[in-house]
Amino acid sequence: MSITLTTWSLEQTSPDDLRPARVPEGDGIVVRRSEVPSPEFSRYLYTAVGGDVHWADRLSLTYAQWKEIAEKPGAEVWVAYDRGTPAGYVEFDPQDDGVVEIVYFGLIGAFRGRGIGGHLLTEGIRRAWDLAERWPDREPTKRVWLHTCSLDGPHAMANYERRGFRLFETRTETAEESETPGPWPGARV
């Protein structure tokens, strides 16, 4: 079945563009960098977060391809934990000329709607802006960008805009609707 798919691309061009979200109540939420590149952990996060919102573009990747993504200099994964349990993540793809793309961002279904997403996105954006501090061979970040689409969660676009991202491109195309793969084959969230 064909569907209309809209993709929005958004950007920040200064760290001053960031409008931070409030920190969720309680002391159980922490955001930490996953410092050891791990294809297994990266794939876990990707399937757990994206399984119910049609993320399928990386499902066919080999272990070697996951490893290459995880070990790319400047690529980082930041994970939100709720009392030690992974709740969601943000992943960067460092690009040329001081550009950082947030390639994946989201929460596992059970953690949505609790204010964790705004906090995680805030911390992810901060870390994208200071990426060169951790990767001395990179030039300072000049632009942080991402894209979202009409298949993503219903609050994604609003969260990006509330954090200070500005729309710079909209594309609409016809695409084939696919089933959501779930966090693992045969699962339904």
Token pair 């204010």 is found at 115
Residue-wise pLDDT for 3-42, tens only, equals: 888 999 999 999 999 999 998 877 789 999 999 999 999 9
> Structural domains in the chain?
2-176 (3.40.630.30)
Q: Using CB atoms within 10 Å of the CB of residue 37, give its burial: 0 to 12 exposed, 13 to 18 middle, 19+ buried.
A: middle
Torsion 77-82-88-90 (CA) sign:
negative
For 136, residues 6+ apart whose C-beta sits below 8 A from its C-beta are: none
Q: Which residue has the higher pLDDT, 143 or 56?
A: 143
Q: How many CB atoms are located within 10 Å of the residue 137 CB?
A: 7
Residue-wise pLDDT for 101-134, tens only, equals: 999 999 999 999 899 999 999 999 999 999 999 9
Q: Which of 99, 150, 117 is nearest to 49 (CA)?
A: 117
Tell me what the mean pLDDT of segment 147-155 comes to: 86
**Residue 176 pLDDT:** 76
**Residue 154 pLDDT:** 82
